[in-house]
Amino acid sequence: MFKKLLTLLILTLSLFLLTNTIFAQEENKAYVAGVAIVEDISEDEYGLTLLDGLFSITNFRKFPAVDNFKVYSRWFGIGKHKIKAQIVDSQNNIVNESNEENLIFEKDYETYYFSHDFNNTVFVKPGVYWVEMVLNDEVVFSMPLFVQLSGQEVSFELESELPSLIFSLPAIEVYEKDNGLQAISGVFEFLRFKRFPSADDFIIVNGWHSGDGEFSQYIEILDPDGNVIYVSEPQTFETSPKSITAVYDELIDFIFPKAGIYKVRVYLEDTVVMEYPILVEQF
């Protein structure tokens, strides 16, 4: 388990420390921009994506147990690829896997998302399982899923007290459901305006996994020329092992001076932990 956790931390840092080299002109490259385990994925009233019920822990009264859930994955890059999601146990045995999907970027650094169905997933016993994203037959992301017997905690020790950023995405709203799980509505992949400059209201939601303590986050937004045009106020949040915390920055009347590839840069304390594009187009 410790090797897996270290892998999670290394993958999170290496995948999400996407700075100067990530937007270099590469012929065929894809990047994970976020992964979430959710109760369901659907459309909200505006036709945008609804991530309904974020979770990282599931409890059962007995084993073997059967669960139905979905995994959301978000990608950007260049070229053509094959992706899938899979669930593995602590011995790296595949418990369930999604269908393989074609990931084809028609425009450089545009963003696509996928909904991976994990209906009728059988967990033989409690433990720490792992949700993995596979890109062109290589595992490029891994995060833990805690499968527990009701009333009994699965043992899990952190290699680091720092939380891991498992997703960052533009959306409209974050709210808490009746069952206490968070939902994110209005998730989108690009923006389109008739003329420039133009403005819109939205939020940037960051999903932090595990960690232990109190931390500070903030974001920057860069224009297509690489100039920082927005810096948010630092926000303090608390994390604990096994938890998922969605923290968001609200942008009201945010002005886009021109079309192009904008970048969102996410900081934990004063360290960049993720950078990804938002494509802004004119129609």
Domain that holds residue 81: 2-282
pLDDT at 282: 96
pLDDT in tens, 106-123: 988 899 999 999 999 999
Q: What is the pLDDT of residues 124-160, one digit of tens each?
A: 999 999 999 999 999 999 999 999 999 999 988 777 8
- The pLDDT tens digits of the residues spanning 24-51 come to 556 789 999 999 999 999 999 889 999 9
Q: Concatenate the DSSP letters of all residues of the chain into one string.
A: -HHHHHHHHHHHHHHH---GGGGS--SSEEEEEEEEEEEEEEE-TTS-EEEEEE-SEEEESSSSEEEEEEEEEEEEEEEEEEEEEEEE-TT--EEEEPPPEEEEEEEEEEEEEEEEEEEEEEE-S-EEEEEEEEETTEEEEEEEEEEEETT-PPP---S-SSPEEEEEEEESEEEE-TTS-EEEEEE-SEEEESSSSEEEEEEEEEEEE---EEEEEEEEEE-TTS-EEEEPPPEEEEE-TT-EEEEEEEEEEEEE-SSEEEEEEEEETTEEEEEEEEEEEE-
| Res. 9 pLDDT band, cuts 50 70 90 | very low
Mean per-residue pLDDT over the chain, rounded? 91
Number of domains forming the structure of the chain: 1
